[in-house]
Amino acid sequence: MPKLSVWMVRASLVHMGIGFLFGALILHHKGIPIYAWTWRLLNPHIEMMIFGWTMQFVMGIAFWILPRFSSEPRYGSTRLGWWSLALLNSGVALTALGVWFALNLLSLAGRLSTLSAITLFVILIWPRVKPLGGYAASQHL
């Protein structure tokens, strides 16, 4: 597994842990309504579960398993991937903080950062979305 995938999967697991915790707190409050502030965790929960956890996990695994190039760099421009990792995690964190503190500008900055991360990742991974060479190609699979 390449290093970039390792760090994407690790970061996604951190988001999963925190996002689940937020969801559990909201769920607890729905059953036993004692902490009204937990509803403010809903938007951070959504942001972390969709982008931080699910999407980042898929990105990490995709970078690892999609067909590699036959010559170096075999995974494509890894530098784009590291930028994507940094922008995605700061984007999710900024958006979550923005919605928690009701700072629209911060949320917007976070969303733009997440969007840039996805754009860079698509540029990086696009040429690797192709049929495998050899047997699969000869069978028109």
How many chain residues interact with ligand HEM (CB under 6 A)?
Answer: 13
The smaller minimum CB distance to ligand HEM, of residues 3 and 30, is found at 30
Determine if 54 is a binding residue for ligand HEM (CB under 6 A). yes
Position among 6, 27, 102, 115 found at the interface with ligand HEM (CB under 6 A): 27
Position among 24, 58, 115, 137 found at the interface with ligand HEM (CB under 6 A): 24
Determine if 61 is a binding residue for ligand HEM (CB under 6 A). no
Determine if 15 is a binding residue for ligand HEM (CB under 6 A). no
Segment near ligand HEM (CB under 6 A), from 18-26, 73-81, 96-104, 110-118?
18-26
Query: What are the structure tokens assigned to 34, written together?
Result: 């004692």
Residue 135 to residues 62, 118, 125, 126, 138: CA-CA distances in angstroms?
Answer: 21, 32, 22, 22, 5
Position among 50, 61, 62, 118 found at the interface with ligand HEM (CB under 6 A): 50
In this structure, the number of other CB atoms found within 10 A of the CB of residue 73 comes to 10
Alpha-helical (H) ranges within the chain are 3-31, 42-47, 56-65, 78-100, 104-125, 135-138
- Cβ contacts of 134 within 8 Å, gap of 6 or more: none
The smaller minimum CB distance to ligand HEM, of residues 57 and 63, is found at 57
Spatial distance between the Cα atoms of 9 and 14, rounded to a whole number of angstroms: 9
